[in-house]
A and B are shown apart, each in its own frame.
Chain A
Amino acid sequence: NEPAGYATGQLYTRYKNMKVEWRAFVSLGRSGIAGFGLYAKRDIDMNQMVIEYVGEVIRSEICEIREKMYSQKNKGIYMFRIDSDYVIDATMSGNLARYINHSCDPNCYTQIVTIDNDKKIVIFAGRPIKAGEELTYDYQFELEDTEDKIPCLCGAPNCVKWMN
Chain B
Amino acid sequence: QVVISTNDRAHQLEVSDDRLTVTGKDGYAVARATHFILYGKWYYEVELLDQPEGSHTRIGWCQQLASLQACLGYNQFSYSWRSKKGTRFHNAIGRTYSKEDYRVGDVLGCLIELPERD
State the main secondary structure of chain A at its contact with B: helix
Asked if A60 is at the interface of the complex by the 8 Å CB criterion, the answer is: yes
Name the residue of chain A whose CB is nearest to the CB of B27.
Answer: A59
**Total number of residue pairs linking A and B with CB closer than 8 Å:** 9
Closest to B69 in A: A61
| CB contact list, A37-66 vs B, under 8 A | 59-62
Q: Closest Cβ of chain B: how far from A84's Cβ, in Å?
A: 10
Q: How distant is the Cα of A62 from the Cα of B26 in the complex, in angstroms?
A: 12
**Nearest Cβ distance between residue A27 and chain B, in whole angstroms?**
37
Number of residues of chain A lying within 8 A (CB) of chain B: 5
Q: Which residue of B lies closest to A59 (CB)?
A: B69
- Residue count of chain B within 8 Å CB distance of chain A: 5
List B contacts of A85 (CB < 8 A): 69
Tell me how far the C-beta of B74 lies from the nearest C-beta in chain A, rounded to whole angstroms. 8
User: Which residues 74-132 of A sit at the B interface, judged by CB distance below 8 A?
Assistant: 85
Q: Which residues of chain A have C-beta atoms less than 8 A from B74's C-beta?
A: 61
Complex-state Cα separation, A60 to B12, whole angstroms: 14
**Complex interface: chain B residues within 8 A of A62 (CB):** 27
Q: Which residues of B contact A60 (CB under 8 A)?
A: 69
Q: Which residue of A lies closest to B67 (CB)?
A: A61
B111 is an interface residue with CB less than 8 A from chain A: no
- The answer, yes or no, to whether B22 is at the interface (CB within 8 Å) is no
B62-78 vs A, CB cutoff 8 Å, 1 = contact: the mask equals: 00000101100010000
Q: Which of B67, B69, B74 gathers the greatest number of chain A CB atoms within 10 Å? A: B69
CB contacts (< 8 Å) of B69 on chain A: these are: 59-61, 85
Contact surface of B with A, Cβ cutoff 8 Å? 27, 67, 69-70, 74
A residues neighboring B (CB under 8 Å): 59-62, 85
Sorted nearest first, the 9 A-B pairs with minimum C-beta distance are A61-B70, A61-B69, A59-B69, A61-B67, A60-B69, A59-B27, A85-B69, A62-B27, A61-B74
What are some 9 contacts across the A-B interface (CB < 8 A)? A59-B27, A59-B69, A60-B69, A61-B67, A61-B69, A61-B70, A61-B74, A62-B27, A85-B69
